[in-house]
Copies of this chain bind each other. A is one copy, B any other.
């Protein structure tokens, strides 16, 4: 299976590494909007100009698009699906329906297969929600994120006057997790589900009290949460907070029985040292499925809900039944 990477940031680098962990994957190249001569890759993969990608139409089975959801993917994925089988990790949940429709039109026209919103949320967490709600229709599910770094929230802090750098962790509230697992099906407010933990490097002479107040009162990002702000040095930030860990929990509890007397708890959780590397690993597995689906003539826009699980694995159907069923 010949894969290529379109966009070479954290996620693209993760795909390059993940490709090397899968024996059936060959990496054709990396396409970037930067000057290729200035890009040093992790594994020596050749680098090409993004604008040349169409020249590689016949040399790529699936193109993995590693752009941002806010401004890159809404244009990129429908555009590239006109020439390639593609996978993206579009993660703006509210805009998935319109992204799906735009990609579907393009992929159906070109006879390609385009899978959007792969990764862990959307992605594996979505699958956990679907499977457990299909099995337990009378129930309720909850998604908690963290402990992990939210890049959006870290960026929001960095935009405050007097802040040199910052890192924000989203942290699930343990007592709420326990209440959910017990089958009580509690109503939880935003504040009851997660807390926000901030590590901030202030510029010399900056007013720390004002920075802390601005963070805690920031609408949408922090005002609905219990937020803790810790000021640390640039060195401490680099030493203790340079990774991009993340993870979370999808928990569904449901009732069965003549009098709904039996409670069942289904929990799917992730603890990830590197959010982009895990997401990239998922993109490569879903690219394998896209390649097979297109070979079967299954074209248009797809999501993780449309993928037969066996298509994610390099093993044959018989091997899967023998070793994993």
Contacts and interface: CB of A to CB of B under 8 A. Distances in A.
Interface of A: 14, 17-18, 21-22, 42, 93, 96-97, 100, 117, 122, 124, 126-131, 133-138, 181, 254, 256-258, 261-274, 277-278, 280-282, 285, 288, 303-310, 312-314, 317-318, 320-322, 324-325
A43 to B, nearest CB: 8
Contacts of A261: 273
A15 to B, nearest CB: 11
Identical copies of this chain, number? 2
A81 to B, nearest CB: 17
Contacts of A135: 124, 278, 281-282, 285, 312
A25 to B, nearest CB: 10
A127 B131 contact: yes
A130 B278 contact: no
A130 B310 contact: yes
A114 to B, nearest CB: 14
B126 A325 contact: yes
A324 B126 contact: yes
B264 A271 contact: yes
A309 B256 contact: no
Contact of A271 (B133, B265, B268, B280): B265
A303 B281 contact: no
Contacts of A256: 14, 17-18, 21, 273-274, 277-278, 280-281
A268 to B, nearest CB: 5
Nearest to A322: B97
30 contacts: A14-B256, A21-B137, A96-B325, A97-B321, A100-B321, A130-B313, A130-B320, A131-B309, A134-B309, A134-B312, A135-B282, A136-B281, A256-B277, A256-B278, A257-B274, A262-B273, A264-B270, A264-B272, A264-B274, A264-B281, A265-B270, A266-B269, A267-B267, A267-B269, A267-B270, A303-B325, A304-B309, A305-B321, A305-B325, A307-B308
Nearest to A261: B273
Contacts of A131: 124, 127, 309, 312
Contacts of A308: 305-308
A42 to B, nearest CB: 6
A261 B131 CA distance: 32
Contacts of A273: 256-257, 261-264
A276 to B, nearest CB: 10
Contact of A325 (B17, B122, B270): B122
Given A17-B257, A17-B258, A256-B17, A321 B309 contact: no
A296 to B, nearest CB: 12
A260 B271 CA distance: 16
B130 A324 contact: yes
A129 B324 CA distance: 6
